Structure 1
Amino acid sequence: MADEDPTTAEVLERLESLEESVSAGEERRRARRIRRLAEGLHRFEQRTLDNVERNIQRYTTRDVLEAFVGSTIFSLPLVVEGGVLEIGSHFATSLVYGVPVYFLANAVFVVTITAGLLYYAEFREVEIQLAFGFVPKRLVGVLVIAFLTATATMALWGRLDTAEPFLSLCRISVVWTAGAFGAGIGDILPGENEGEEIGDLFGGT
């Protein structure tokens, strides 16, 4: 069975032993330079792990801004695609007993995948904070920001039809799908942020 790869701490320890065992001046200087490089890598590794493993407990105004940026980045490529109009038409016209089942199924999919990304993805441990005792703040915030971003960009670039509001809503929902994913990524990847708690802006809810 092959030995496991050594950690940076183990490599650093071996380099220190090597430096002590070398007697020649030039070789000792080389060993010292390599050890210092390993020390820098070890410190970088520790800082990275500390950042990744840190829990996210607060939901702040900066999280909202980062969610908006992430949503915009993921949404814009779809706004210019003609496929958005086709999929939106599919959502609006594919009815079962008068119910837009594909539109509703897509909405459920967006909520589910966003919740999974925020609360169950293993690279971040995000604490679920509830407003009014039952509304998950971060999930609702990400979904609303993504929806508003999708609506604004679609309206700004003339991709909505005011004469057919439901068709326009279906088109927005297509962009919202990608925007929600981008907003979730933008929210949690940077880790916990400084800023004013969202709940404090609404009387501590």
Structure 2
Amino acid sequence: MADDRSNTADDAEAHVGPDGADPAADEMERLLAEFDTLAEAVDSPDERERVRSARRAAVAAANETAVFGRVIHGYDRGDLAEAFLGSVLFGVPMFVEGGTNEVGHFLAAHPVSLVGTILAAIGLVVGILYVADIQDVRVHEPLLGVFPRRLVGVLGVAFLTAAVVMTAWGRVDWARPVIAFSDIVVAFVPMSVGGALGDILPGS
């Protein structure tokens, strides 16, 4: 039992965030301590081994579900790659669907709707990253001291991916730049959502 008891703090520590105050880690530590107490209370070696097996299974299950509830901070190339993959996944249907261009033509003729669509996309991404509590996303070294790097990265990757792919696939005509921009904005909306989800769901 000495090994099991010594591992209790180590197993729980793996779930503690940088601030050292993770309620989930406290709950895990209590659970592991109860397993250790139970193992000491039973007399049969077979029963004791069953308790230890259940303890190991609990630790494994906690590690598997740790994708959610992590503290996410910093922003690097890995996050950009995740945002890109999420954007592409949500963008492919928009690239091949003729309705994208129809909505784009409408937005080009209605500037207020165009601006509103852009603001709505930004609001959706802000909501996913910082409001919905899907993950505990921390702002790390904001650009110019104001703009969160993760927000700028997700929006920038989604918009650039939409512009490059739609241009390469002949879905926009840059001879009419306003319409081309509007078409890209239509694809950008779901792609920004996909980029935000792709960035934070792995819990990096």
TM bucket by the smaller chain? 0.7 to 0.9
TM-score (norm 1): 0.74
Gaps of 5+ in 2: 1-27
CA RMSD between the two structures: 2.7
SS at match of 1:111: helix
**2:127 matches 1:116:** yes
Look at both structures and tell me which one has the larger radius of gyration over its CA atoms: 1
Match runs of 1:151-162 below 5 Å: 151-162=163-174
Aligned match of 1:170: 182
Q: Amino acid of the residue matched to residue 110 of structure 1?
A: A
**2:153 matches 1:137:** no
CA distance in 1, matches of 2:173, 2:50: 65
SS at match of 2:135: coil
**2:81 matches 1:105:** no
CA distance in 2, matches of 1:161, 1:42: 57
CA distance in 1, matches of 2:77, 2:187: 24
| Runs ≥4 residues deviating over 3 A | 19-22, 31-37, 48-51
CA distance in 1, matches of 2:101, 2:57: 50
Shift of 1:32: 6.5
Shift of 1:46: 2.5
**2:138 matches 1:92:** no
SS at match of 2:72: coil
Shift of 1:109: 0.1
**2:194 matches 1:182:** yes
* Equivalent of residue 76 in structure 2, options 56, 60, 64: 60
TM-score (norm 2): 0.74
Aligned match of 1:41: 57
Aligned match of 1:200: none
CA distance in 1, matches of 2:158, 2:143: 19
Structure 1 residues 37 and 85, CA, compared in 2 at 3 Å: closer, same or farther?
farther
CA distance in 1, matches of 2:66, 2:94: 35
